[in-house]
């Protein structure tokens, strides 16, 4: 059953608000709209890239009926705190996650992530806590936000390293969902994050190329004062 159907089945509809993340997944906001409710965007935790429970609490109003939590990049949201919040306010809490990979594939991704963690310089590596399965290996590129991150990505691709910007535009900045809300962690993450390869199929030579290319560029990016 899809998110819109689950919301409707729970009685969520016209006049209700549903708290959702703006970092990625426009489909979540679309599902809320399809159910007849209004998506309300809350900020993310800068470590997990999932909804921040404190931000969700701040977004709750008398019209809030539900929260849709999205587990991101192989990290889980603080689901215990979010369910407790739901119980306090009488809210439906729905979870969306990424499809689970086989254990041996996760183990290989973790091995490659550990290799990158130990060797990358000039970028901020992901926090591997809380059972990270590394669906994506997402780093932060320091410097002056989006221009430096985009230049960094172009330079990596020129060196044969496949990389991608995980969230190009937060949902609250898209024309159909434009909301004038303050989501500083969401916007900073959208400007700084870059997903590097961490597939189980990567060879040692390919891993070395990723590290060499990143480290050659990382020292050039310093924040402007």
- On whether the 103-218 domain is CATH 3.20.20.410, my answer is no
pLDDT tens profile 15-62:
999 999 999 889 999 999 999 999 999 999 999 999 999 999 999 999
Torsional sign, CA 112, 100, 38, 78: negative
Same CATH topology for 3-96 and 103-218: the answer is no
Q: Which residue has the higher pLDDT, 200 or 68?
A: 68
The fold of the 3-96 domain, in CATH, is 3.40.640
Q: What is the pLDDT of residue 197?
A: 95
CB-CB contact of 68 with 20 (8 Å): yes
Residues 6+ apart with CB under 8 A from 40: 17, 18, 19, 20, 59, 61, 64, 179
Q: Whole-model pTM? A: 0.91
Average predicted confidence (pLDDT) for the chain: 92
pLDDT in tens, 162-180: 999 999 999 999 999 987 7
Question: Phi and psi (nearest 5°) for 6?
Answer: -65, -40
Q: pLDDT confidence of 215, banded at 50, 70, 90?
A: very high
Query: How many of the other CB atoms lie within 10 Å of CB of 73?
Result: 20
Q: Locate the domains of the chain by residue range.
A: 3-96, 103-218
Tell how strand 92-96 and strand 193-196 pair up: unpaired
Q: Are 161 and 196 in contact (CB under 8 A)?
A: yes
Distance between CA 140 and CA 81 in Å, rounded?
26
pLDDT of 219 reads 52
């Amino acid at each position: 059953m899809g998110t819109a159907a689950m919301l409707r089945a729970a009685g969520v509809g016209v006049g209700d608000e549903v708290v959702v993340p703006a970092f990625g997944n426009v489909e979540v906001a679309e599902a809320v709209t399809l159910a007849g409710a209004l998506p309300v965007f809350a900020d993310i935790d800068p470590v997990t890239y999932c909804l921040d429970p404190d931000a969700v609490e701040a977004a709750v109003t008398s019209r809030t009926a539900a929260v849709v939590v999205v587990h991101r990049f192989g990290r889980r949201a603080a689901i215990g705190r979010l369910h407790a919040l739901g119980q306090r306010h009488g809210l439906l809490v729905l979870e969306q996650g990424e499809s689970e990979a086989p254990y041996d594939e996760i183990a290989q991704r973790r091995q490659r992530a550990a290799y990158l963690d130990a060797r990358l310089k000039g970028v901020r590596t992901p926090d591997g806590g809380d059972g990270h399965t590394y669906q994506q290996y997402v780093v932060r590129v320091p410097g002056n936000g989006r221009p430096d991150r985009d230049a960094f990505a172009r330079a990596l691709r020129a060196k044969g390293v496949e990389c991608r910007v995980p969230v190009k535009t937060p949902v609250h900045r898209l024309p159909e969902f434009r909301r004038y809300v303050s989501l500083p962690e969401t916007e900073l993450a959208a400007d700084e994050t870059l997903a590097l390869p961490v597939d189980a199929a990567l060879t040692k030579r390919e891993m070395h190329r990723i590290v060499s290319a990143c480290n050659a560029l990382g020292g050039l990016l310093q924040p402007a004062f």
